Amino acid sequence: RHTRRLQIVCAALLASLAGYAGVVTAVPLAVPPALPQGEPLLWGFAFLAAVNLVTIMPVYRAMLAGPRRVYTVGQQPERLLAAHFSAHIVAFARLEGVAVLGLVLHFLTGRQDWFWIFTGVAAVGMVLLWPKRNKVGALLAVPGEPGLQVPSPH
């Protein structure tokens, strides 16, 4: 159940990227771009996106560290699964932020290529972080207990 619920939320965030793409391709800019020479803005946004991307997994791991230690001692998965859900949503939201930077670049500069680059990076990140049942099973596995049977999340 945990994995399915997480997949639904993550699918909604991934679908929002498709919504952004629809807006960019279907809606022409009504006014000339505010910054037609937006290379400095591109580099600034690229720096923000890179810092965001580089720190996604350290933040994800930090969000799980405390609950993982508690789970190792108490073997009660509820808090660990709640922390996992939150960490995943935060990671996907941060990836969504990269796509939003591309969307803002498009509207300020009129450059669709920059939108597609930022959104493509966000989409690839979401696909790589897609929640899978075996990853949840690995999360719930206790080191030193080889035969642990993880209950089905359904």
Q: Give the per-residue pLDDT at 145.
A: 53
Q: Give the per-residue pLDDT at 150.
A: 47
Q: Give the per-residue pLDDT at 68.
A: 82
Q: How far apart are CA 1 and CA 62, in angstroms?
A: 24
Those residues of the chain that have pLDDT short of 70 are 34-36, 142-154
Q: How many CB atoms lie within 10 A of CB 105?
A: 25
Q: Give the per-residue pLDDT at 148.
A: 45
Q: Give the per-residue pLDDT at 142.
A: 63
Digit-coded pLDDT (tens) for 17-48: 999 999 999 888 777 776 667 788 888 999 99
Q: How far apart are CA 103 and CA 111, in angstroms?
A: 9
Q: 46: part of which helix (H) or strand (E)?
A: helix 39-74
Q: Give the per-residue pLDDT at 131.
A: 87
22, amino acid identity: G
